[in-house]
Every structure is written in C-alpha cells, then in structure tokens.
Structure 1
C-alpha cells in the first residue's frame, strides 16, 4: 500500500509520461494484462488511456488492472490510469528521503 506522500511523488514522476496502452472495445483480456505486467517490470510507472468505446469505466478498469497485475493504482484522472509496480530485477524509481 502506498502512502499519500508516495502517491504524490509518483504523480509528479508520471506527469510527463505519455500513455503506452489503450483500453478499447475489446476490454481487458489475458494478453493485455500480460503486456501490462511486462511493461511494469521494465518501467515501473506507466499510464494507460481508456477510450470512449471501452466497456469498462476508467475507475473500474484501473482497479481491475491493479488487482490482476499486482500493481498499485496511483491515479485515475479523466480517462488516464497511472499504475506503479516496483521492478523485481531493475528498480528505477528512487524514493525521496523523508
């Protein structure tokens, strides 16, 4: 579970990122989840865009993806989901000292 300070830090880090995935009318399926897991391992912090023709609402899609990938839901802003999961092999994000 992320604290408020950690989420705030991750939102700041994700601000400049562009969404690398889109959820459309095909919705969330096993192959999509596997691709997101691979991207999270490589990048740790990703954004996903939910298109207007998607079956799921952005909030629900974010919760489903976080649950199925083991990631933390950092933020849902409009139609953009931000997810974080610490990389097991190559951690990139350095947390600020408290």
Structure 2
C-alpha cells in the first residue's frame, strides 16, 4: 500500500510519461492484462489510457487492472490512470517505508 509521500513522488515521476497501454471499446480483456503485466515488469510505473467507449468509469477499470496485475493505482485523471508495481530487485524507484 502506498502512503501519501510515495504516491506524490510517483505522480511527479509519471508526469513526463506517455500512455503505454490503451484500453478500447472491448474493455479490460485478457490480452490487455497480459500486455499490462509485461509493461509493469519492464517499466514499474506507467500510464494507461482508458477510452470513454469502454462504458465504465476510468477508476473502476483502473482498479480492475491493478487487481489483476498486483499493482497499485497511483492516480486517475480523466481517461488516464497511473499504475505502479515495484520490482523485488533492481527497482528504479526508491520508496520510503
């Protein structure tokens, strides 16, 4: 679970990122979850664009993606969600306990 300072730090780091994963009208599918899982392994912190055509709120889609990939939702603004999953070893982000 992320605390406020860590969440703030990750938001600042995500500011310069572009969305890596796009969730389209099909919604959250197994293929999207597989891509997201691999992207989280590679990058740890990433943005996900969730289109309005999904028919659900961005927050609920982000929560579903986070649960399916054991990640944390850092922030949701508009159609963009920021997700984070820290590597056990060799992490790029040093979070405070």
TM-score (norm 2): 0.92
Structure 2 match to 1:41: 41
Q: Does 1:85 align with 2:85?
A: yes
Alignment of 1:1-98 (within 5 A): 1-95=1-95
State whether residues 21 and 35 of structure 2, in contact with CA within 8 Å, keep that contact through their aligned partners in structure 1: no
Unpaired stretches in structure 2, ≥5 consecutive residues: none
Q: 2:24, 2:4 → 1: CA distance?
A: 30
Unpaired stretches in structure 1, ≥5 consecutive residues: none
Residue-pair matches, total: 97
TM-score (norm 1): 0.91
State whether residues 24 and 55 of structure 1, in contact with CA within 8 Å, keep that contact through their aligned partners in structure 2: no
Instruction: Report the Cα offset of residue 56 of structure 1.
Output: 2.5
